[in-house]
Amino acid sequence: MAEAKEDQIKFYSNKICPFGMRAWLTLEVKKIPYEFIHCDLKDKQDFFKEAYAKALGHAEDNAGKVPIILHKGKYIAESSIVARYLDYVFSDEDKYGPSILPKDAFQRAAVEIMVAWFGDSGWLKFHYGILMNANPDDQAKSVVDWKKKWKTLNDRLGEFCDKGTYLPNNQVSLFEICAFPFFERLCTLEHYCKLEIYSKWMDEFPRVKSWYETVKDNEAFKKCTSTQEFLNNGYKGYREKAEENYKKWKEEQAKQEKK
Amino acid sequence: MAEAEQKEQKLKLYANPICPFAQRAWLALEIKKVPYEYIKCDLREKPAFFTEAYQKALGAAEGSDGKVPVIETPDGKFITESTIVARYVDYVYSDESKYGPSLLPKDAFERAAVEIMIDWFGDSGWLRFHYGTLMQCDKEKADASVVDWKKKWGLLNERLKQFSDKGLYLGDNKVSLFDIVAYPFFERLITIQHYAKYEILDKWMEEFPRVKSWYNTMQELEAVKKIKQKDEFFINGYKSYRERGEAAYKKEQEQKAAAAKDDK
């Protein structure tokens, strides 16, 4: 049936990418039929670069980023926008379940606030910043500052309930979809930066811990997870570069001190 | 009280006409003809009623004593953060026969495009360039920054062509959430023109004709005209920003001079 074919989503992504995971989670949470097309992020295939060049929202200065979706002949990029688009198009609640943006106007605003806060808080800069900087003094400072954001998150997650997802009744929202992929990748910080996040930090921030454990256990989320080995291996290059830079920096410092 | 009656009760907008963020919420209310009461809040000496409203507001930044806009809904809820307030207003006042079309289009692709533009505008660093250029009194640094800002103007010029070669982003006068989010900063370009002496409104607009068309179309909207402030008001209102820039520049110069002395 021509209609059904056009309706199917072609999903261009790579399992390593947390932004790709946002779109993947949306597809799984809403049980939307899709075809996962693996894209090599180091050696970008032509079909990938062509899809990206055509995609609404593509960055002018980039050859290809995941996720991209193809739907009804149109390509769309940018993880949060893809998630919103899928949620909006596949809105039949009987088929696809509840929207990831709640019907209640105040709850809806609260989810939008959390999504915006997570973006503006600098969370990603702390996450990648710590992973990509092997200087232990820098790391210690960043950790102090990042934990302030963990505290804010811990407080904000308490808006509606004291455990589980942000919204009551374990309702998955756009906030879970946007934030969770980065929590899955905390294993890389544990592994390379020797930070005891899943144990110690989570105990310091019990509302975050409850949120993380609940979301991790969600059926749809479990379909999109990767092993810690896969993730750690995937980010090895980032850490190797960080150590190389730190080594060079130490050598420069030593030279300066000799003068 | 019945929900319909509650909605007809006025929403309260805590704002100040100087603030571009507050203007986003103000524009949303005016464009959708939502009944509201404007409560002007002094941003330098914040009145207690404002601080209290802010502390109660969904989205309030921890450690801030008050930012505009804040809305107080007819059912007694406080919400802050300009874009979220605009989204909330658009979502609640959704009866098109009363409040006109939504600020987020029905067509899924157009809707995604508007969301893309909103995110792009935020992530592009536009506001950093805007305030940075306003406050940067080191001419060399300002000129260098302007070169980078104009690259963003170029990107905006191209992206605005997605649906139409003139008018608002969606074409003609179809107002979207992007137009509301971006426009207040364009209304304040006069301050950068005045203090930093860049001919933005004439020369830059000529260089970026799609941006010019978008800007001119916005200026003609009834809602925009109704709440527009005068150039003198903005120039006066942002004087203190420029003065802060001048103080920073003076300090830099003094530090350079002292360092030069030490080197001798």
Report the pLDDT averaged over residues A167-194. 98
B88 interfacial to chain A (CB closer than 8 Å): yes
A116-143 residue pLDDT tens: 999 999 999 999 999 999 999 999 999 9
pLDDT higher than threshold 60 for residue A2: no
DSSP output for A33-74? -EEEEE--SSS--HHHHHHHHHSBT--TT-S--S-EEEETTE
Angle at A83 between CA A190 and CA A177, to 5 degrees: 30
The percent of residues in chain A predicted with pLDDT above 90, rounded, is: 96
The per-residue pLDDT for B263 is: 75
Q: Return the pLDDT at A177.
A: 98
**Which residue on chain A is closest to B107 by alpha carbon?**
A89
Cβ distance B155 to B161 under 8 Å? no
Beta bridge partners of B79: B58, B71
Q: Residue holding tokens 């000529």?
A: B206
Residue in this structure with the two tokens 């790579």, named with its chain if needed: A14
**Within 10 Å of residue B59's Cβ, how many Cβ atoms?**
22
Per-residue pLDDT, averaged over A86-103, amounts to 97
Q: State the pLDDT at residue B2.
A: 61
Q: Kindly determine whether residue B108 and residue A113, on different chains, have CB atoms separated by under 8 Å.
A: no
Distance from the Cα of A69 to chain B's closest Cα (Å) equals 12
Give the lowest-confidence range in A1-5, A43-47, B93-97, B174-178.
A1-5
Task: Using 50 as the pLDDT threshold, list the residues of chain B that sit under it.
Answer: none
Q: Is the pTM of this model over 0.90?
A: yes
State ipTM: 0.96
Asked if A34 contacts A8 with a C-beta cutoff of 8 angstroms, the reply is: yes
Provide the pLDDT for residue B261.
87
When CB atoms are compared, the residue of A85, A89, A109 closest to B79 is A109
For position B172, what pLDDT does the model report? 86
Give the mean pLDDT of A180-201. Answer: 98
Q: Provide the pLDDT confidence category of residue A7 given band limits of 50, 70 and 90.
A: confident
pLDDT on residue A6? 62
Strand order in the sheet with A74-77: A34-38, A9-13, A68-71, A74-77
Say what the pLDDT of residue A5 is.
63
Distance separating alpha carbons of residues B59 and A106, to the nearest angstrom: 11
Q: Tokens for A44, please give them.
A: 């970008």
User: Is residue B74 a contact partner of residue B80, using CB atoms and an 8 Å limit?
Assistant: no
Residues 105-124 of chain A with CB under 8 A from chain B are 105-106, 108-110, 112-113, 116-117
